[in-house]
């Protein structure tokens, strides 16, 4: 059975009454909607801000390592850390690396190969010169 043609079965149009106040009411609704959206955005922004602050604090506590001396492998005592490439101001963008269950990871900026060594402390490296502590 063929589908009916939309033109062969026209939908009757229902008259709509429009008052002169309709545009003003639309503007009021729009303002309420905008206000509601702004309030929602403010709440989400506040939540994200607090999450961002927590993440920033966590990232600041990660150990930092560099390879300014240019060794082929740096052994580290943690699986999550920050690679800074070299000692500032010659550092590359600071990147947070997470080995997960792997035994090593390569920094995508400086191509340093980091190997996890459980005999080292979390902030220790071999060679020891590759561990970086902020000089505040």
96-110 confidence digits (pLDDT tens): 999 999 999 999 999
Which percentage of the chain shows pLDDT scores above 90? Answer: 49
The answer as to whether 15 is a domain residue is: no
Domain holding 57, by residue range, is 23-61
| 47-61 average pLDDT score | 59
Statement to judge: residues 91 and 40 lie in one domain: no
Statement to judge: residues 38 and 87 lie in one domain: no
Statement to judge: residues 57 and 68 lie in one domain: no
Number of H helices, E strands in the chain: 1, 8
**Cβ-contact 95, 112 below 8 angstroms:** no
The answer as to whether 122 is a domain residue is: yes
> Which residues, 6+ apart, have CB-to-CB distance to 106 below 8 Å?
112, 113, 114
User: Domain total for the chain?
Assistant: 2
Statement to judge: residues 77 and 102 lie in one domain: yes
Question: Could you say which of 14, 40, 61 is where a domain stops?
Answer: 61
Statement to judge: residues 73 and 35 lie in one domain: no
Statement to judge: residues 36 and 86 lie in one domain: no
pLDDT for position 135: 45
Statement to judge: residues 55 and 72 lie in one domain: no
Please give the DSSP secondary-structure letter assigned to residue 68.
T
Q: What is the pTM of this model?
A: 0.56
93 has pLDDT over 60: yes
Three-state DSSP class for 28?
helix
The answer as to whether 17 is a domain residue is: no
7 has pLDDT over 60: no
**79 falls in which pLDDT band (50, 70, 90)?**
very high
37 has pLDDT over 90: no
**Cβ-contact 132, 64 below 8 angstroms:** yes
Closest CA to 77 of 48, 117, 111: 117
57 has pLDDT over 60: no
Distance from C-alpha of 83 to C-alpha of 108, rounded to nearest angstrom: 10
Statement to judge: residues 70 and 126 lie in one domain: yes
């Amino acid at each position: 059975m063929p589908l009916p043609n939309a033109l062969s079965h026209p939908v009757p149009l229902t008259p709509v009454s429009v008052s002169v106040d309709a545009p003003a009411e639309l503007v009021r609704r729009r303002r309420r909607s905008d206000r509601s959206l702004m309030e929602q955005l403010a709440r989400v922004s506040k939540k994200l801000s607090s999450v961002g602050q927590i993440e920033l604090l966590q990232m600041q506590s990660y150990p930092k390592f560099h390879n300014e001396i240019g060794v082929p492998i740096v052994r580290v005592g943690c699986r999550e850390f920050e690679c800074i490439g070299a000692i500032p101001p010659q550092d590359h963008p600071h990147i947070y690396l997470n080995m997960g269950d792997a035994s090593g990871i390569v920094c995508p900026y400086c191509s340093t190969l980091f190997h996890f060594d459980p005999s080292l402390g979390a902030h220790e490296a071999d060679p020891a010169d590759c561990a970086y502590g902020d000089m505040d």
